[in-house]
Amino acid sequence: MSHNHQKKIAVINDFCGFGRCSISVSLPIISAMKIQCCPLPTSVFSNHTGYESYYRTDYTEHMNAYMDEWEKLDLHFNGILTGYLASPEQIDIVKYFIERFKRNGTVTVVDPVMGDDGRLYPAYSPLLAERMRSLVAYADILTPNLTEACILTDTEYREDMREEELFTICKRLSKLGPKRIVISGLECDGDLENYVYEAGKEPRLVREHKVGPCRAGTGDVFSSMIAADAVNGKSLVEAVTHASAFIAKVLRRTVELDIPKADGICFEEFLSEIE
């Protein structure tokens, strides 16, 4: 009996019981896009770390045995999506997962979650950031924000990067391995822009109006839609346009409902509208 009659994406990320981010975002988004989402948790959180307190269980020691069972089932994945990784050991496990499960036609999307606003996240060490470069080499599509793109290329961070500078950063990232790159969440005159780079093609900027503050989990919605659209055969520009428009619509509704910033974006309001 084959378990591979339906498209599947393996999502390697942490799971949060409350606060819309990581697997709890990817699972409904990818499912709504008619792809089976298969989560491999790296940690389990009661709620994400943006709240005053939380409970966490590290899942590192269980990850290899977990994927062994998937191999026994002979699961084939059309996509692999990676998110926040908390240790060099987890990065090595994810590389091993890709080596075991990536086949011809499998799209690997790496979201190198490391920092924002020009700084690494408090729990993220420079050593861990250096190790992330080795995972980037496995990516078909890379979706860093500007901070992460600068860290990965040893580029001095500035908010007001010109398109020529973004192109240079993407060329450097491309030398690490990925040939399709999206630098996400660039703020410009009240709008959010995503810089889309594909080797051998003219770069594109995809812009949507920004509503309200940046919120937890928005990047997870973005990377999940990029991965699902790539598996469903859409071009990278089409995928970025789709994700950007969806997020802009959800942000407007999130502000209307006065959702607390840490609670993320209320994508559930429009989940049935994703195609």
Q: What is the pLDDT of residues 36-71, one digit of tens each?
A: 999 999 999 999 988 999 999 999 999 999 999 999
Exposure b/e, 142-169, CB count within 10 A at least 16 = b: bbbbbbbbbbbbebeeeeebeeeebeeb
Contact 11, 35 (CB under 8 A): no
- DSSP E strands in 89-203: the ranges are 107-110, 115-116, 119-120, 141-142, 180-188, 191-198
In a domain, 185, yes or no: no
Please count the structural domains in the chain: 1
The identity of residue 175, as a single letter, is: K
In a domain, 231, yes or no: yes
Residue 139 CB neighbours (<10 A): 25
Residue 242 CB neighbours (<10 A): 19
In a domain, 203, yes or no: no
* C-alpha 240, offset from chain centre: 12
Q: Is the pLDDT of residue 194 over 80?
A: yes
Q: What is the SS3 assignment for 107?
A: strand
Contact 225, 29 (CB under 8 A): yes
Q: What is the mean pLDDT of residues 112-126?
A: 87
In a domain, 121, yes or no: yes
| CB within 8 Å of 109: residues ≥ 6 apart | 79, 80, 81, 82, 139, 140, 141, 142, 143, 223, 226, 227, 230
Lowest-pLDDT choice from 88-102, 118-132, 241-255? 118-132
Q: Is the pLDDT of residue 238 over 90?
A: yes
Give the C-alpha separation, 232 to 34, whole Å: 9
When pLDDT is cut at 50, 70 and 90, the band that residue 140 belongs to is very high
Contact 195, 182 (CB under 8 A): yes
Per residue, the 3-state secondary structure of 89-118, as one string, reads HHHHHHHHHHHHHCCCCCEEEECCCCEECC
Two tokens, residue 151:
């860290």
Give the pLDDT confidence of 69-95 residue by residue, as tens digits.
Answer: 999 999 999 999 999 999 999 999 999
Could you tell me what percent of the chain has a pLDDT over 90?
83
pLDDT, residue 230, reads: 98
In a domain, 74, yes or no: yes
Two tokens, residue 217:
């989990």
Q: What is the mean pLDDT of residues 251-270?
A: 94
Domain of residue 78, residue span: 8-142+210-268
Q: What is the SS3 assignment for 89?
A: helix
Taking the model in full, what pTM does it have? 0.96
Lowest-pLDDT choice from 30-34, 155-159, 211-215? 211-215
Two tokens, residue 40:
């491999």
Two tokens, residue 8:
């599947």
In a domain, 156, yes or no: no
Q: Which residue has the tokens 């928005």?
A: 218
22 DSSP 8-state letter:
T
Give the pLDDT confidence of 200-231 residue by residue, as tens digits.
Answer: 899 999 988 877 777 888 999 999 999 999 99
pLDDT, residue 74, reads: 96
In a domain, 189, yes or no: no
In a domain, 171, yes or no: no
The identity of residue 132, as a single letter, is: M
Q: What is the SS3 assignment for 75?
A: coil
Give the C-alpha separation, 250 to 269, whole Å: 8
Q: What is the SS3 assignment for 140?
A: coil
Q: What is the mean pLDDT of residues 152-164?
A: 92
Q: Which CATH number does the domain housing residue 221 bear? A: 3.40.1190.20
Give the C-alpha separation, 89 to 214, whole Å: 30
